[in-house]
Structure 1
Amino acid sequence: MDTPVSISVTNTEPPIYLTSREQQVLLWCAYGKTSWEIGQILSCKESTVNFHIGNILRKFAVPTRIAAVIKAVRYGMLDTH
């Protein structure tokens, strides 16, 4: 997960780029972790995790982290193996 991942949802929309940290946060969201738990795992503050989640939600144009996870899985951006 060192390189940014991008997808293009449709031919008319620009691709979505996630940083490696955003990918990590999104992965832990997929595992059902809270922002506090993700902060403990990634050795950062809960507010930093929430900052990354805000960026993810904006980039995916979705209202919740669950919707972001679903969209990422749908477009093959999230490998939970």
Structure 2
Amino acid sequence: MSEYFNDVYLSKRHQSIDPIIINSLNRVSPLVWDENLMINSQWTINKIFNAVKPFYNIVSGQTFVLHDQNNNLALLSLYVNKFLMADVNREITRDRNDIQGLLIDTHEMMLHLYYNENEQARSNVSILSSRENEILYWSSTGKTYPEIAHMLNITVSTVKFHMGKIVKKMGVNNAKHAISLAIELNIISHPVRK
């Protein structure tokens, strides 16, 4: 299932047309669905279900919905294999409140981890030097390393050196990740010209 999710679902942006997600946006109670789930009682989008049906025999399921205080949508979907439909549906229905509680608890833990990760990144970023801030700023505007080097009257290898320090301080994998995280955290400031 993870191969489908990574290789097909995300790459083709199926989340934008997924009837489960679209229906969940407008509800707070769990959603029972099958391959004929309609969007706005008008359209069915079978290609999402048809893509996984031959491999996993998924024909129905239940999705638990959570809208949080930040207007995020969190979903917990339990897929039902056609060979286990009656038993699994009965158990899901019986344990419905516990499953909803599990979604709430898991989402709270994820928000806590995300918050702590961002706080850690913020505290690490506060120790960026003025040169590192300058390089991060110009990189975030789309400037290339040679362009930044020319603007700051330094070598390209010096720009790369500082970007490496930024990546390390922010605890990310690469420059693109550092730039996107810095933008998300709103920590990039326009360099002061001397």
Could you tell me how far 1:25 is from its partner in structure 2?
0.1
Q: Provide the residue aligned with 1:57 in structure 2.
A: 167
Q: Deviations over 1:7-44 (max 9, x none)?
A: x833xx48211100000000111011111111001000
Counterpart among 115, 128, 133 of residue 23 in structure 1: 133
Q: How many percent of aligned residue pairs carry the same amino acid?
A: 32
Shift of 1:64: 2.0
Does structure 1 retain, via aligned residues, the 8 Å contact 2:149–2:159? yes
Structure with greater strand share of residues? 2
| TM-score after normalising by structure 2 | 0.34
Which of these residues, 32, 42, 67, is aligned with residue 142 of structure 2?
A: 32
Contact 2:140 2:179 in 1 (8 A): yes
Tell me, in whole angstroms, the C-alpha distance in 1 between the residues paired with 2:150 and 2:173.
24
CA contact 2:133–2:189 (8 Å) conserved in 1: no
Residue 180 of structure 2 is matched in structure 1 by: 70
Mean Cα deviation higher: 57-66 or 38-47: 57-66
1:41 aligns with 2:151: yes
TM superposition shift of 1:75: 1.5
Q: Which amino acid in the other structure matches residue 31 of structure 1?
A: T
Task: Show structure 1 runs of 4+ deviating over 3 A.
Answer: none
Shift of the alpha carbon at 1:79? 3.7
Q: TM-score under structure 1 normalisation?
A: 0.76
Question: Contact conserved, 2:139 with 2:179, CA < 8 A, in 1?
Answer: yes
- Greater shift, 33-42 or 14-23, is seen at 14-23
* SS state at 1:18 partner: coil
Task: Report which of the two structures shows the higher radius of gyration computed on alpha carbons.
Answer: 2
Which structure dedicates a bigger proportion of its chain to helix?
A: 2
> 2: distance between equivalents of 1:64 and 1:9?
16
